[in-house]
Amino acid sequence: MGSMSAPASTLEDAIQAALATVDDPEIRRPITELGMVKGFTVSDGLVKVDLLLTVAGCPLRDKLTTDITAAVTEIPGITGAEINFGVMSEEQRKALQTTLRGGAAAEPVIPFAQPGSRTRVYAVASGKGGVGKSSVTVNLAAALAKRGLSVGVVDADIYGHSVPRMLGVQSPPTRVEDMIMPPQSHGVKVISIGMFTAGNAAVVWRGPMLHRALQQFLADVYWGDLDVLLLDLPPGTGDVAISLAQLLPNAEILVVTTPQMAAAEVAERAGAIALQTHQRLVGVVENMSWLELPDGSRMEVFGAGGGETVAQSLTQTVGARVPLLGQIPLDTRVREAGDAGTPIVLADPSAPAAKALDEVADKLAVRRESLVGKPLGLMVNAKRG
């Protein structure tokens, strides 16, 4: 020991406490909780930490070094830190995996399907492609994250998988044993089926494969404690909707349509599936509703009334009110923002399309009546986990 006046145990406690404030940049939990701190010594104001990385060649060494140094040098008398990096053994990684899964569970479980899950799950569906389902999904995700909610998106659209691009996700998921860490962008955790299909080969997904992929996305991805999970479904529902109902019976379906859609047809199909799977239809979003002209008038490029007709028709089919949650105008900035990887609700929040999307997000961030009395992490402004 150096010239510290504090008793050794107190100083060591302080260092331990300081280390507990440092999160692993990827897993976003304290390094002490993750079993990454193998040990430390302190001498002449210098803390030497033996740190175990989850994988060799972890690119986050610099960040860890900076964060640990910042944390321990807050302690009076500590002037620096030296990190000796090691790598976890197979056994240590397994232990970490168990910690992350929240216990000794051997079977992969889908946290969102557990009784008492606080996560509200929205499956975004449409009758056909090109109606803006992915654009609506990523904007709602970004808008909800902006409100301080913890948000995840599963891109289950095997034909499109455009969600990562629209959210500007740069990095692939990483692995700890058989746990998958989702990359994050704009505060949204993202997993796409496209991240698991080699190259850009057009993969023909059959029902069972799709079911397994979806199960893996939900069980093996470390999502943490989500307030909202959004799923971008392939157009036309079908196989995925049935799988989803089995895997996530509490998922609520959000229907995206345009004013022009063969409204009755869309409604009938979505309604039939919801009836069959006993899933709740949370509402309808009409996209590409009109184009605002320079003189302020609205040009109804694709006609009018599709969203309202779908909502009314669904209400009749399922026998419960299915509201029209919003009408999103056509705006080239929606596409540009998506292409640039920053959804319009973040890139240009005062645009009418962004405001309309924000209003839909507000409606989705509300407590569900049937869940009153159960813990639900919505409307909490402080971000958790």
CA distance 276 to 239: 13
- Residue in the block written with tokens 């972890």: 58
Q: Which of 335, 355, 363, 383 binds ligand ADP (CB under 6 A)?
A: 335
Beta bridge partners of 87: 53
AA letter at 239: D
CA distance 155 to 167: 11
- Is 202 in a helix, a strand, or coil? coil
Q: Which of 111, 127, 152, 160 binds ligand ADP (CB under 6 A)?
A: 160
When the beta carbons of 18 and 328 are compared against ligand ADP, the nearer one is: 328
| Segment interacting with ligand ADP, rule: CB under 6 A, options 66-74, 131-139, 201-209, 293-301 | 131-139
Site for Mg ion in 120-139 (CB under 5 A): 134
Number of H helices, E strands in the chain: 12, 14
CA distance 119 to 218: 12
374 is in an annotated binding site: no
Site for ligand ADP in 20-49 (CB under 6 A): none
Does 130 interact with ligand ADP (rule: CB under 6 A)?
yes
Does 328 interact with ligand ADP (rule: CB under 6 A)?
yes
DSSP state of 113: G
- Sequence-distant (6+) residues with CB within 8 A of 207 are 239, 243
With CB under 5 to 8 Å by kind, the binding choice for 331 among Mg ion, ligand ADP, none is ligand ADP
With CB under 5 to 8 Å by kind, the binding choice for 263 among Mg ion, ligand ADP, none is none
Provide the mask over 343-362, with x wherever binding to ligand ADP is found by CB under 6 A and - wherever it is not: ----------x---------
Contact between 282 and 274 under an 8 Å Cβ cutoff? The reply is no
Query: Contacts with Mg ion: how many residues (CB under 5 A)?
Result: 4
Residue from 271, 277, 208 nearest 242 by CA: 277
CA distance 30 to 320: 45
CB of 163 to Mg ion, least distance (A): 7
- Residue in the block written with tokens 């009018």: 304
Q: Which of 331, 345, 348, 365 binds ligand ADP (CB under 6 A)?
A: 331
With CB under 5 to 8 Å by kind, the binding choice for 72 among Mg ion, ligand ADP, none is none
Q: Which of 117, 126, 317, 327 binds ligand ADP (CB under 6 A)?
A: 126
With CB under 5 to 8 Å by kind, the binding choice for 156 among ligand ADP, Mg ion, none is none
Provide the mask over 154-183, with x wherever binding to Mg ion is found by CB under 5 A and - wherever it is not: ---x--x-x---------------------
Strand 120-126 relative to strand 228-232, pairing: parallel
- Phi/psi at 310 (5° precision): -60, -45
Q: Which residues bind ligand ADP (CB under 6 A)?
A: 126, 129-135, 160, 162, 287-288, 328, 330-331, 334-335, 338, 353
